[in-house]
Amino acid sequence: MEPAPDHLPASFEPEDAVAPAPHPSGEDQRAAPRFTLLLRTAKLIADGREFVCVLRDASDTGVKVRLFHPLPAAQAHELELADGTRLPLDPVWERGGHAGFRFVTPIDVRTMIEDFDGPYPRRPLRLQLHNHARVTAHGDIREARIINLSQQGACIQCDEHLMLQEKICIEGDLMPPIVAHVCWRDAPRYGLAFEQLFQLDELARFIARVQDGGPAEPGRRTAA
């Protein structure tokens, strides 16, 4: 199976993009130079909880993002860049699966773009969860915790020994069973590679359910 993309094609989004936020002085936000070719996945942080978003366009004063669920209610929102830098945001509007934010402190948008498009390959987007899970290996069920999750795999903590390349099935709170292989270990932490990858929208919606404690959805990844 080919790796799942960490960004979405431009056709995924409506073409009638609007400015992400009014300028703090009240001037038209479009007065600030805007870049519309971002289409990069990023983390939206809401009171410390991590969510998936896709950057649509940005300027020195604000950003428009694509969401896959309602904007999480929070006292504080931040945008996390590829290097881990977090930019405080003020939400301005939300509609049609998109949200506009104003940067609390104006930024150099060119520097932000260079951060996402640096010379080195980007690591897959990993979302911190710390969610309870159960690992089944050779018929034995073991308790574990999901430390982080990406489209391709997960990092878990498990007090029981797991072997490298061992085939397991992991099932978490609100997460259907997923077949995976152990690809690295640093006991009690283990890295898992999923046999079937999450699509970006699947990952985003699952993360939102877990972070907000919503209902589980029927699974389609159960081992045969």
pLDDT digits (tens, 9 = 90+) for 20-68: 334 444 444 445 667 655 678 899 999 999 999 999 989 999 999 999 9
Q: Where are the domains of the chain?
A: 10-116, 127-212
Confidence of residue 117 (pLDDT cuts 50, 70, 90): low
Report the relative pairing of strands 167-172 and 127-137 from DSSP bridges. Answer: antiparallel
**Closest by alpha carbon to 34, among 63, 65, 7, 11?**
63
Residue that has been written with the tokens 């003020």 in this structure: 90
pLDDT at 118: 65
Closest CA to 164 of 190, 137, 133, 196: 190
Residue 200 CB neighbours (<10 A): 21
How many Cβ atoms from other residues are within 10 Å of residue 211's Cβ? Answer: 21
pLDDT in tens, 198-215: 999 999 999 999 988 654
Q: Which fold has domain 127-212?
A: Thrombin, subunit H (2.40.10)
pTM, to two decimals: 0.77
Please state, as a whole number, how many other Cβ atoms lie within 10 Å of the Cβ of residue 172.
23
Q: How many beta carbons lie within 10 A of that of residue 161, not counting itself? A: 12
Judged against a pLDDT cut of 50, whether residue 107 lies above it is answered with yes
Q: Per the CATH hierarchy, to which homologous superfamily does domain 10-116 belong?
A: predicted glycosyltransferase like domains (2.40.10.220)
Q: Residue 130 is encoded by which pair of tokens?
A: 């710390």
Percent of the chain with pLDDT over 70: 75
DSSP bridge pairs for 98:
66, 95
What are the DSSP E strand ranges found in the chain?
Answer: 40-46, 49-58, 62-66, 77-80, 86-95, 98-103, 127-137, 140-149, 153-157, 167-172, 175-186, 189-194
CA 172 vs. chain centroid, Å, equals 17
User: In a 3-state reduction of DSSP, which class is residue 21?
Assistant: coil
Quick count: other Cβ atoms within 10 Å of Cβ 12?
13
Q: What sign does the CA torsion over 33, 200, 186, 48 have?
A: positive
Place of tokens 């690295």: 184
Answer whether 200's CB lies under 8 Å from 208's CB.
no
Fold match flag (10-116 vs 127-212): yes
